[in-house]
Structure 1
Amino acid sequence: MQRTLVVIALLAVGLTACQENPVSGRRQLALVSEEQAQSSSAQAYAQTLNEAQKKGKLSTDAALNSRVKRITDRLIVQAGNMYAPSREWKWSVAVIDEPTLNAWCMPGGKMAIYTGIIEKLKLSDDEIAQIMGHEIAHAILGHGRERMSRAMAMQGGMTLGSIVAGRDLSVLSPVADIALTLPNSRSGESEADRYGIELAARAGFDPHAAVRLWGKMSSAGNGGPPQFLSTHPSPDNRIQALNALVPQMMPIYEKAR
């Protein structure tokens, strides 16, 4: 009986804490406020850049930094048109000199891209725009805040469940992560692909570059684990979905050009 009450309480919290995303229209768990998400992201960003600087990992390549900023500035303008509150964000982009094939954008517009992905994949401006458009889409779609909320809900669920069961259930966390977190994260990745390619198109970057980019990622052996255990769609599925979006995005791109 007590265990049932805990489950009901958790479900009630989840339902009341869901909000409709103003960009996608999808309902999202929002236990963490936008202010909290941005504040914690700003602290994490400052710490990340500070550590990178101490290690001499912040790129000093003026031409590369200028190139990345020029591209992201165009995307930021379109992010503001897609999600008006982002016009007030304190946007920032850093180029981190590491071989990692990665880039990210935290809540509030704190961004980074790694030299590894640019150099190893020999990215064009259009392809960089697709990467950063995808990452910016994560931010304006509230995916960072959603991940924080899911983590908080899962942690709270495990704590309450342990009390009721009279034993530590934290060992079940990986199972809960696969069962609950990954499907939503894959959905978030697909959303970021969809809105990221549109952001790039609105900014005047070729939508075909999204397909080329993921072809390069696949060739680089960055496909990762099987799709059912991955937070990212497999490269083949991703390329297929992006290919289907290209005809819709071309008129936007042609108008922006």
Structure 2
Amino acid sequence: MRFRLLALLVAATQVCAQVPDSGRWQELRFPAEEVEQRAGDQYIEQTVSLAAAGRLDRDKALLFRARRIAEGLVRAAVALKPDAKGWSWEVHVTDDPAVEAESQAGGKLLLGSLFAGRLRLDDGELAILLAHEIAHIVAEHERETLSEALLDSRRDLPLDVVAERLASDVPLQFRLSRLSAIQEREADQLGMLIAYRAGWPCSAMLTFYRKLAADSSATTILASHPSGTTRLSLAKGMSRLLDD
């Protein structure tokens, strides 16, 4: 009886949603507010830790550029997903070498200054990178991944338990790798659309993904990002589509 009640509660909170632009259907089993609250807490913990280590927002010029560019991208994203207007968007930069670019639910962005510097990104190319991360947020990929991990467990579990399992369970990560690959391609495509609607030229898509392809390191069995050449091919196709 208890298991049946838990199953009914999970079913009651399940939401079917569509990713903006692509229209792909998602099963979202955790409330958006709960996922956003957890992501916000993690972001605070991460940025506080980076600040304590002297690795947060030291590159003031890049921080200013990123925040200025992100403002226009967020406006374009809100037009695709009106709920995004109510999120607490934040942008920080770090010189932690482990960080390239990251996003968390609810509008949290973290940009790696060493990565941006290594690729020598101009404003248009930086816009494409940030738009990719914004696309992950707008498409609610974090919420979807956690929901799929819950579905994989075949029983009701709290969000924190599912998140901890997802972070440490390699077989589970492998089972969800196909979803991750779909999400990465989706973020590339949706990100390019967001950047275009924010006024950035298609040429920026091509130069960014050319640089990324040239910089790509060896992939692993769990790598979720498409190859650099695949992403460049997508950028060429999107550029032709948007220019028509």
**CA-based RMSD:** 2.6
> Once structures 1 and 2 are overlaid, which stretch shifts more, 208-217 or 235-244?
208-217
Aligned identity (percent) is 27
Larger-gyration structure (1/2): 1
In structure 2, C-alpha distance between the alignment counterparts of 1:97 and 1:185, rounded to whole Å: 26
Q: Would the alpha carbon gap of residues 21 and 232 (structure 1) be closer, same or farther in structure 2, given more than 3 Å must change?
A: same
2:18 alignment partner AA = N
Offset at 1:188?
0.8
- Stretch moving more, 95-104 or 38-47: 95-104
In the other structure, the counterpart of 2:173 is 177
Work out whether 1:232 is the aligned partner of 2:225: yes
Q: Determine the C-alpha separation between the residues in 2 that align with 1:210 and 1:189.
A: 15
- Structure 1 residue 82: deviation in Å? 1.1
Q: SS of 1:213's equivalent?
A: helix
Q: Give me the whole-angstrom Cα distance separating, in 1, the residues matched to 2:186 and 2:59.
A: 33
**Are positions 1:246 and 2:243 aligned together?**
no
Matching residue within 130, 142, 151 for 1:132: 130
Equivalent pairs counted in the alignment come to 227
- Amino acid in the other structure paired with 2:16: Q
User: What is the deviation of 1:101?
Assistant: 5.6
Aligned partner of 2:103 among 102, 105, 116: 105
Look up the SS of the partner of 1:60 in the other structure: coil
Residue 233 (structure 1) shift? 1.0
Please point out which of 17, 21, 31 is paired with 2:18: 21
In 1, the alpha carbon distance for the partners of 2:54 and 2:99 equals: 19
Task: Give the deviation of 1:217 after TM superposition.
Answer: 2.0
What is the rounded CA distance, in whole Å, between the counterparts of 2:218 and 2:237 in structure 1?
20
The runs of 5 or more residues in structure 1 that have no matched partner are 1-5, 160-172, 252-257
CA distance in 1: counterparts of 2:120 and 2:238, whole angstroms:
24
Moved more, 148-157 or 23-32: 148-157
Q: Retained in 1: the 8 A contact 2:58–2:94?
A: no
- Which residue does 2:217 correspond to in 1? 222
Structure 2: 5+ residue stretches without partners: 158-168
**Relative to structure 1, is the Cα distance of residues 176 and 99 closer, same or farther in structure 2, using a 3 angstrom cutoff?**
closer
Partner amino acid for 1:32? F
What is the Cα deviation at residue 247 of structure 1? 1.5
Tell me the TM-score normalized by structure 2: 0.84
Matches of 1:52 and 1:138, distance apart in 2: 23
1:53 corresponds to: 51
